[in-house]
Amino acid sequence: MSQLSLILLSTFAISLGSLIGVFTLSLKPKKLEQILLYLVSLSAGAMMGAAFLHLLPESPDYLLTLMSFIGFFVIEKFLYWRHCHRRNCPEHVFGHMNLIGDSLHNFLDGLIIAAAFTSNNGLGLVAVLAIALHEIPQEIGDFGVLLYSGWSRRQALLANFLVALTAVAGGLIGYWLSDIQQFSASLMPIAAGGFIYIAASDLLPEIRKETSFKKSLFLLFIFLIGVLMMNVIK
């Protein structure tokens, strides 16, 4: 299978994850919150593992990684690209603003996937797995935000899916940019900074909110499984 085919297939599969919200409607809120917290723990470990075990060794430009970390903070703070990992977020978030932020997020995911696959297929698989694990709780949260904002189920699903397709656009543009010298090498530390930022500022704080010592240990164990998954792939 060609690199372009792998990129298109991977980004489209990531986009389909936006439809997962509909399957959570039958779950009780408390049960869903528990499932989401476990997914967040696994995602945090996978993103940290992908950043430190795969992306940084591929292009160890640590200054660019630091600049990327700061850049992702600026994007989230001033361009309203936020992450929601709960069925009902505590803050009031307007649906349209959430979609704008999510479209930027998905587009960057597509660029990262394209850059990873143009480096080598193994790195592409790592990027897809880390992003997919993160997308599941995020898309459930985004679906909940749209419902909370007054959207119907059909409107929320359609809007989420259309916005998720920006990942495919990012993948295509990333593939075309791969002919530019050092594109993939430059994007790897940027992706690493993004993964570290998302895991450290959005995912780990969700885990830290758990007050039960026993559950906290179990969440730590799941986090380590995420890291181990990336190490096994390596």
Domain boundary assignment for the chain: 3-19+28-233
Residues 6+ away with beta carbon under 8 Å from 12: 165, 167, 168
Residue 60 has pLDDT above 80, yes or no: no
Q: What is the per-residue pLDDT across 1-53, written as a single tens digit (0 to 9) for each?
A: 788 999 999 999 999 988 887 777 777 777 787 888 899 999 999 999 999 99
Q: What is the per-residue pLDDT across 102-159, written as a single tens digit (0 to 9) for each?
A: 888 899 999 999 989 988 899 999 999 999 998 888 888 778 777 777 788 888 889 9
List, as one string, the DSSP characters of 140-165: HHHHHHHHHTT--HHHHHHHHHHHHT
**What span, in angstroms and rounded, lies between the C-alpha atoms of 124 and 117?**
4
Q: What is the structure's pLDDT at 147?
A: 77
Q: What is the structure's pLDDT at 95?
A: 61
Q: What is the per-residue pLDDT across 12-22, written as a single tens digit (0 to 9) for each?
A: 999 998 888 77
The model's pTM is 0.84
Q: What is the DSSP letter of 22?
A: G
Model confidence at 90, in pLDDT bands (50, 70, 90)? very low
**What span, in angstroms and rounded, lies between the C-alpha atoms of 25 and 7?**
31
Q: What is the structure's pLDDT at 89?
A: 52
More confident call, 80 vs 114 = 114
How far from 73 is each of 19, 66, 108, 135, 142, CA to CA, in Å? 27, 11, 14, 19, 19
Q: What is the DSSP letter of 27?
A: S
